[in-house]
Amino acid sequence: MANRVQIPTNNSALIAMIADEDTVTGFLLAGVGNVDLRRNTNYLIVDSKTTVKAIEDAFKEFTTREDIAIVLISQYVANMIRFLVDSYNKAVPAILEIPSKDHPYDPAHDSVLSRVRYLFSSESVSSGRR
């Protein structure tokens, strides 16, 4: 790619998941599951008994681990910790909101798309004022 310097940083980074059981099961079948020597996993299964604190703790843990490149989070789970997800502004790990079985994806709630909409709405307001 012209005018870009490529730096390899991590060639075996993990994908973390915070989602319902079926979604986590499916991605584990795809080979994404990782368990370290301390029995820490790269996923959290969210069900009706999972507390918001547990989800917040898992999100904070996955976004601070250096071996994780992508965090998949079901959008309905992200809505439970929306403040935390929207205030996350690092490029890596990438936070991707995905649909779940019972909750289809809604682009209006997506963190990144909300930022784009906000930027363009503020741009149009400021250009209107000029």
Partner 1 sequence: MGSLSSSLRQGWLELSSARHSMGNSRISSVLFDMKPHSSATTVDLTVSLPVNVPHTTQPHFSLLKWGSRGDEKSPSVEVDGKTPSQASSCSGRTICGLLLLKCGRRRSKALSMFGALVPPKLRVAQGSFETSLEAIIEIANTRSTILSALGRLQTVDLRS
**What tokens appear for 49 in the block?**
């008994």
Query: Partners of 73 in the beta sheet?
Result: 18, 97
57 scored as a contact of partner 1 (CB under 8 A): no
Q: What is the smallest separation between the CB atom of 83 and partner 1, expressed in angstroms?
A: 19
- Piece in contact with partner 1 (CB under 8 A), picked from 48-56, 57-65, 66-74, 79-87: 66-74
Contact with partner 1 (CB under 8 A): which of 82, 92, 117, 121?
A: 92
In the region spanning residues 26 to 45, those forming contacts with partner 1, defined by CB under 8 A, are 26-37, 39, 41-42, 45
Q: Give the chain's radius of gyration (CA, Å).
A: 17
How far CA 100 is from CA of 2, 105, 129, in Å, comes to 39, 8, 42
Backbone angles phi, psi at 86, to 5 degrees: -70, -25
What is the SS3 assignment for 115? helix
- Piece in contact with partner 1 (CB under 8 A), picked from 56-64, 79-87, 102-110: 102-110
Q: How far apart are CA 69 and CA 13, in angstroms?
A: 5
Q: What is the smallest separation between the CB atom of 78 and partner 1, expressed in angstroms?
A: 14
Summarize as ranges the residues that interact with partner 1 (CB under 8 A).
1, 3-15, 21-37, 39, 41-42, 45, 69-70, 72, 91-92, 94, 96, 98-99, 101, 104-105, 107, 112, 115-116, 119, 123
